[in-house]
Structure 1
Amino acid sequence: MKNLGLSCLLLVSIGFQSCKNEKANDTKEATKAEKPISVNCYQALYDKDTIDLKINTLKDGKISGSMVMKMYAMSEKTGDIEGEFRGDTLFADYSFIQGKNENATFKNPLAILKRGDTLILGNGKIETYLGRSYFAKGAPIDFDRVKYKFLTVDCVDK
């Protein structure tokens, strides 16, 4: 009888988890399908490094887009960003693949400060908990001593 109760509990848990995953996928697909109210493209150059950023602003204030990081002597990072502005700072997650390895997807937090037409990629202490990376609470994000400052460029579809 005890094993029957545990089996039922396990099945119910699996059912709830699968429903949760479907809702998360539906939300992600809806965000990608939604037409943006504005699209802006930016580029940051530092020594031999180049970062191309495309930001789509959606109706609900959420941000989606893409980013390609070409760092000297490193594999190219290509991926998507999703987040939202809090004041003048965009907090987003950057999900990317590195090089041609499409089997491994990485996810890093981003903080990008908007000053006029310029975006500044901030540096901060990143912590990881249960496989999720985020900016450490209470630790400041530096927007002054940075490498990457994005300037507005024309959007080019590839």
Structure 2
Amino acid sequence: MKPFALFLLLISLLACQNKDKDSVVGKWTFSGENQSDTGFTLDKEGIASAFPAGDIDYQTWEMQGDNLLLHGRKQQNGSTSPYDHTLKVISIKDNTLIVETEDGQTLTYTKTLDSAQENEEECYAYMTAKDTVYLHISRKNRNITGDLTYKLYEKDSNHGSLDGRVKGDTLLAEYSFNAEGRSSVREVIFLKKGDTYVEGFGPVNDKEGKTVFQDHKNITFINGITLSKTNCTK
């Protein structure tokens, strides 16, 4: 084969691969009986998520040939372990995705609202006799906006806005708030566990007037405040 013809063939193959990958981007809802509210969302940046939230939490996805690979974590008996799921793509046509599972089952999914257009609102709260933490978030794809309120016993109360991102099961955002008569900005991080968010803590530095974590790898969620999902109140 001549070099130029080979070049054209490679370009054509790459274009087909990109088209196949782009075609699976979106929110896919299972079409089986009594399971219309289950499925997964795949975005263009390779981030995946399962809905509704459960024991399995997808984080990333990739295409290898005809196989859709979903990578994430699985919670079982109080512990978390890596989880990988492979679906062989049989066909994608007219917003319908047909796949074959590893054990030979054929499943059909229907594309609903595109993940880039989806806007989800959720609220979480931690409440005791003396303490209240309230988290309100609006999620559009991986972007997060919202507000956060702390009312902790013998500490200054503060309320402010959130602006951040979600990656897998982790929410990382800048929290802009007023405390002691002045405006402040600090990083906050929360780990998603089922229908809860657990706040993380770690060493911090001051950077350009903001309080940021020194190293995201050194953040701990042990003994962090756990916020449970609740109804959003106006």
TM-score grouping bracket, smaller chain normalisation: 0.5 to 0.7
Q: How many residues align?
A: 118
Residues 40-70 of structure 1: per-residue CA shift (max 9 Å, x gap)? 0110135621101101002x42000011110
Distance 1:76 1:143, change over 3 A: same
1:144 is displaced (CA, Å) by: 1.6
Q: Secondary structure at the match of 1:51?
A: strand
Which residue matches 1:124?
202
Which residue matches 2:119?
37
Alignment RMSD (CA, Å):
1.9
Structure 1 residue ranges, 4+ long, deviating more than 4 angstroms after superposition: none
> How much identity, in percent, do the aligned residues show?
28
Q: Secondary structure at the match of 1:145?
A: coil
1:67 & 1:149 partners in 2: Cα distance?
Answer: 14
TM (norm. structure 1) is: 0.68
Distance 1:36 1:94, change over 3 A: farther
| Residues 1:72 and 2:150 are matched in the alignment | no
Alignment of 1:48-63 (within 5 A): 48-58=130-140, 60-63=141-144
- Structure 1 counterpart of 2:230, which letter? V
Match of 2:226 among 142, 149, 152: 149
Which residue matches 1:89?
170
1:36 is displaced (CA, Å) by: 6.8
1:144 & 1:92 partners in 2: Cα distance?
Answer: 19
1:139 & 1:84 partners in 2: Cα distance?
Answer: 17
Alignment of 1:98-113 (within 5 A): 98=179, 101=181, 104-113=182-191
In structure 2, list runs of 5 or more residues that go unmatched: 1-116
1:138 & 1:78 partners in 2: Cα distance?
Answer: 24
1:53 & 1:133 partners in 2: Cα distance?
Answer: 19
The structure whose Rg is larger is 2
Which residue matches 1:10?
none
User: Whose helix fraction is larger, Structure 1's or Structure 2's?
Assistant: 1
User: Whose strand fraction is larger, Structure 1's or Structure 2's?
Assistant: 2
In structure 1, list runs of 5 or more residues that go unmatched: 1-34
Higher relative contact order (CA 8 A, sep 6+): 1
- Structure 1 counterpart of 2:131, which letter? D
1:130 & 1:37 partners in 2: Cα distance?
Answer: 31
1:52 & 1:76 partners in 2: Cα distance?
Answer: 12
Q: Secondary structure at the match of 1:95?
A: strand
